[in-house]
C-alpha cells in the first residue's frame, strides 16, 4: 500500500492539463461533501431548545433540526455519484499510464488501487479546503460547537478521502488496462442483484401499506415516512433499470428500422453498451422522484396553511422550512446535472478515436451532435416518466391522507419535463468538446 500511495503521488504531480481538470472536479466534489457533512454535524451538535436567528427559528427545536440533518446527509448521494463520474474520467485519460504500470508488473487490482489513491489525494485537498471555509464561516457567525463536534469535524475531513477512494474503486471495478494500452469495459451482470434491489423496497412498501390499512388509513408518524422512503427508492431503482432496458430495446429496434443517420449511430451505441446510460443517470433519476413528490406535498401543505388560522410569524416559519427543502432538491438537481455533463464528456473522451474515424469517413459534425443528444434523450425519457409516476404516487397518497376529497394539483407534472430539459442542456454542454474529440487528427493515436 505504501508503494501504491507513492506511485499515486508521483502520477498526481506529473499530471497534464486534462488530468488537472479531473483533479479539480474531484476536489470540488470533496469540498461539497465535506461542507454538507460538517454542516450536518454542526446542526446535530446543538442540544435542547435554543434561539438561533436563522431561518425564522427553524433550528430552535430538536425535531426540526433532525430534519435539517437528514436533508444535508441526503445531499451526499448526488455528490458521491459525481465523484464516481470523475473517477471514470480519470481512468480513460490515464489509459497509457495504466498500460505502462501493467508492463511494469502491476496487477489490474493494483492499477485500480493506484487510481483510487489518486482520487483520495485530490479529495483530501478538497476536504481540507472545505474545513477551512467552514471554520471561517463558523467563526464569523460567533457560534462555538462543543469539543466533541470539533473531533467529529476532524473525522469527517479524514473520512471523506477514504469514502472517495472506495467510490473510485467501485466505479473502476470493471475497468482493466491491458499491457497493450487498451481499456476494456465489461458490462456488469444483472439478474439476482437487480431483483434483490427491487425486492427490498417492494417489501417496505407492502409493510407500510399494511400499517396504513391496519390503522384505518390514518396518517401515521411511522408508517407514512416508511412508505415514502420505499416508494422513492423503489422508483429510483426501477428508473435506473428502465434506462438500461429501454436503451437495449431501442438500440436493437432502431438499428434495423432507423432511416436517419443520427438515430442509426445512436442506436448502435445504445445496443453495444445499453447500461452506460443507467450508470450515468443513477443518482440523477432519484431527483425527479423526490422533486415531484415534494412539489405535490408542498401544494397540499400551502393549501392547508392558507385555509388555517395562522399568524404571520407561523406562516413564515412553515414556508421557510418548505422553501429550504425545495432549495435542497434544487441543489441535488444541479449537482446531478453537473455529474451528467461530466459523464457525457467522459463518453466523448472514451470514443474520440471512433468519432475521429466517423469524421474522416465524411459524417458531418451536425449528425454527430444530434447523435450525442439522442444517446441521452432516448433512454432517459422512459426513466424520467417512471420517476414522475413514483413521485405522483407519493403526492396522491399524501393528499388522500391529509386532505381527502381535494383535487390534486397538476403542478408536479411539470417537474419531469423540466428535469428532462435540464438533462438535455447538460448533455449539450459537451458539444464544444465534440468538435475537438472528433477531429481526424485523433487517428494518429490508433
Packing angle of the helix pair 76-93, 17-44 (nearest 10 deg): 160
Neighbours of 361 (CB within 10 A): 8
The C-alpha atoms of residue 204 and residue 189 are separated, in whole angstroms, by 25
Specify whether the CB–CB gap between 43 and 58 falls below 8 A: no
Cα 294 versus chain centre, distance: 18
CA–CA distances in Å: residue 10 to residues 16, 28, 113, 121: 12, 21, 14, 11
Packed helices 352-360 and 365-402: angle between N→C axes, nearest 10 degrees: 130
Contact indicator for 86, 342 with CB cutoff of 8 Å: yes
Q: What pLDDT tens digit does each residue of the chain (446 aa) get?
A: 677 778 777 777 766 666 777 788 888 888 988 988 898 888 888 776 666 666 556 676 777 777 778 788 878 878 877 777 776 665 555 666 666 777 777 777 777 777 778 778 888 888 999 899 988 888 877 777 888 888 889 999 999 888 877 877 776 665 545 555 444 444 444 444 445 544 555 555 555 555 554 554 444 444 556 666 666 777 777 777 778 888 888 888 888 888 888 899 888 888 887 877 777 777 788 888 888 888 888 888 888 777 767 676 667 777 777 888 888 888 888 888 888 888 888 778 778 888 888 888 888 989 999 998 998 898 888 888 888 888 888 788 778 777 777 777 888 889 999 999 999 999 899 888 888 878 787 776 55
Q: Could you give the CA distance from residue 376 to residue 284 in angstroms, rounded to a whole number?
A: 12
Q: Check residue 403 and report its DSSP letter.
A: S
357 vs 439: CA distance, rounded Å: 9
Residue 269 contacts residue 371 (beta carbons within 8 Å):
yes
For residue 109, the model assigns a pLDDT of 74
Dist. CA 339–CA 82, nearest whole Å: 5
By the 10 Å C-beta count (0-12 exposed, 13-18 middle, 19+ buried), 268 is classed as middle
Closest C-alpha to 180, from 242, 106, 102: 102
Which 3 state secondary structure label does DSSP give 185? strand
- Provide the pLDDT for residue 226: 61
Span between the terminal Cα atoms of the chain, in Å: 34
Residue ranges of alpha helices (H) inside 14-107 are: 17-44, 62-74, 76-93, 95-103
Q: Among candidates 355, 325, 316, which has minimal Cα distance to 434?
A: 355
Amino acid at each position: 500500500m505504501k508503494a501504491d500511495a507513492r506511485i499515486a503521488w508521483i502520477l498526481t504531480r506529473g499530471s497534464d492539463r486534462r488530468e488537472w481538470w479531473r483533479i479539480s472536479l474531484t476536489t470540488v466534489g470533496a469540498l461539497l461533501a465535506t461542507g454538507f457533512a460538517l454542516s450536518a454535524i454542526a446542526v446535530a451538535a446543538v442540544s435542547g431548545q435554543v434561539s438561533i436567528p436563522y431561518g425564522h427559528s427553524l433550528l430552535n427545536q430538536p425535531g426540526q433540526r433532525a430534519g435539517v440533518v437528514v436533508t444535508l446527509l441526503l445531499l451526499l448521494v448526488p455528490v458521491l455519484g459525481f465523484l464516481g463520474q470523475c473517477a471514470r474520467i480519470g481512468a480513460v485519460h490515464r489509459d497509457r499510464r495504466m498500460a505502462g504500470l501493467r508492463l511494469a508488473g502491476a496487477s489490474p487490482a493494483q492499477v485500480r488501487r493506484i487510481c483510487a489513491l489518486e482520487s483520495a489525494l485530490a479529495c483530501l485537498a478538497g476536504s481540507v479546503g472545505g474545513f477551512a471555509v467552514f471554520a471561517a464561516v463558523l467563526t464569523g457567525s460567533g457560534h462555538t460547537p462543543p469539543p466533541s463536534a470539533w473531533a467529529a469535524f476532524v473525522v469527517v475531513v479524514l473520512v471523506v478521502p477514504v469514502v472517495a477512494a472506495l467510490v473510485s474503486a467501485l466505479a473502476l471495478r470493471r475497468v482493466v488496462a491491458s499491457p497493450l494500452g487498451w481499456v476494456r469495459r465489461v458490462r456488469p451482470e444483472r439478474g439476482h442483484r437487480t431483483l434483490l434491489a427491487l425486492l427490498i423496497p417492494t417489501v417496505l412498501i407492502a409493510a407500510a401499506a399494511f400499517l396504513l390499512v391496519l390503522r384505518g388509513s390514518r396518517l401515521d408518524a411511522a408508517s407514512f415516512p416508511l412508505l415514502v422512503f420505499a416508494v422513492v427508492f423503489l422508483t429510483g431503482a426501477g428508473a435506473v433499470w428502465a434506462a438500461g432496458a429501454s436503451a437495449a430495446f431501442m438500440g436493437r429496434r432502431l438499428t434495423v428500422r432507423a432511416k436517419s443517420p443520427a438515430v442509426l449511430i445512436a442506436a448502435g451505441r445504445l445496443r453495444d453498451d445499453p447500461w452506460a446510460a443507467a450508470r450515468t443517470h443513477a443518482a440523477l433519476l432519484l431527483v425527479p422522484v423526490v422533486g415531484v413528490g415534494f412539489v405535490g406535498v408542498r401544494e397540499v401543505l400551502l393549501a392547508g396553511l392558507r385555509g388555517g388560522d395562522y399568524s404571520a410569524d407561523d406562516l413564515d416559519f412553515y414556508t421557510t422550512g418548505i422553501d429550504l427543502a425545495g432549495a435542497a432538491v434544487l441543489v441535488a438537481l444541479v449537482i446531478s446535472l453537473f455529474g451528467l455533463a461530466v459523464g457525457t464528456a467522459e463518453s466523448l473522451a472514451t470514443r474520440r478515436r471512433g468519432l475521429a474515424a466517423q469524421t474522416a469517413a465524411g459524417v458531418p459534425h451536425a449528425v454527430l451532435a444530434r447523435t450525442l443528444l439522442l444517446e441521452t434523450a432516448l433512454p432517459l425519457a422512459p426513466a424520467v416518466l417512471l420517476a414522475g409516476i413514483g413521485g405522483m404516487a407519493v403526492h396522491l397518497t399524501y393528499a388522500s391522507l391529509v386532505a381527502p376529497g381535494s383535487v390534486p394539483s397538476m403542478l408536479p407534472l411539470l417537474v419531469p419535463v423540466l428535469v428532462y430539459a435540464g438533462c438535455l442542456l447538460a448533455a449539450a454542454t459537451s458539444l464544444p468538446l465534440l468538435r475537438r474529440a472528433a477531429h481526424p487528427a485523433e487517428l494518429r493515436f490508433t
